[in-house]
């Protein structure tokens, strides 16, 4: 089983069309301390995932079960000065950010809070 230790965060960049819940794996930093892209690990269904508070206590622990439907809302666009909903394109929003999924059975905003503030985490995957 692979163990990934690092910092959890919401990864988003041009072209992702929303954020991905991710871990920046330890050991993938530049000499100046910046994160390297090679250390980016998106969470996957079935991962064993644990998030820790500053004192080492567990904030959340469980198996990742991606839910891409709960709270999904239609995307909007500006057309001729009016905001219109785009049919068939729904996505979830957490903390004001478009995301691709949330953890099934966890309040989306509570889930999103786990990825704020560079919290330490551990991922185990096969």
- What pLDDT, on the 0 to 100 scale, is given for residue 92? 92
- The 3 state secondary structure assigned to the chain is CEEEEEEEEEECCCCCCCEEEEEEECCCECCCCCECHHHEEECCCCCEEEEECCCCCEEEEEECCEECCCCCEEEEEEECCEEEEEEEEEEEEECCEEECCEECCCCHHHHHHCCCCCCEEEEEEC
Closest CA to 20 of 98, 116, 119: 98
Per-residue confidence (pLDDT) for residue 33, from 0 to 100:
86
pLDDT at 64: 98
pLDDT digits (tens, 9 = 90+) for 47-61: 999 999 999 999 999
Tens of pLDDT along 106-124?
Answer: 999 999 999 999 999 999 9
Contact 93, 99 (CB under 8 A): yes
- pLDDT value of position 15: 84
The pLDDT assigned to 104 comes to 97
Intervals of the chain under pLDDT 70: none
Instruction: For residue 9, report the phi and psi dihedrals to the nearest 5 degrees.
Output: -160, 170
CA angle 70, 74, 75 (to 5 degrees): 125
* High-pLDDT (> 70) share of the chain, %: 100
Model pTM? 0.87
């Amino acid at each position: 089983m692979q163990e990934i230790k690092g910092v959890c965060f919401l990864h988003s960049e041009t072209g992702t069309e929303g954020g991905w819940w991710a871990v920046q794996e330890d050991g993938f930093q530049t000499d100046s301390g910046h994160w390297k892209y090679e250390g980016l690990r998106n969470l996957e269904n079935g991962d064993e995932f644990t998030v820790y508070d500053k004192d080492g206590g567990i904030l959340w622990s469980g198996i990742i079960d991606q839910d891409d439907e709960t709270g999904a809302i239609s995307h909007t666009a500006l057309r001729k000065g009016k905001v219109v909903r785009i049919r068939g394109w729904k996505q979830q929003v957490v903390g004001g950010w478009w995301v691709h999924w949330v953890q099934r059975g966890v309040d989306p905003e509570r889930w999103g809070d786990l990825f704020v503030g560079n919290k330490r985490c551990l991922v185990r995957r096969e």
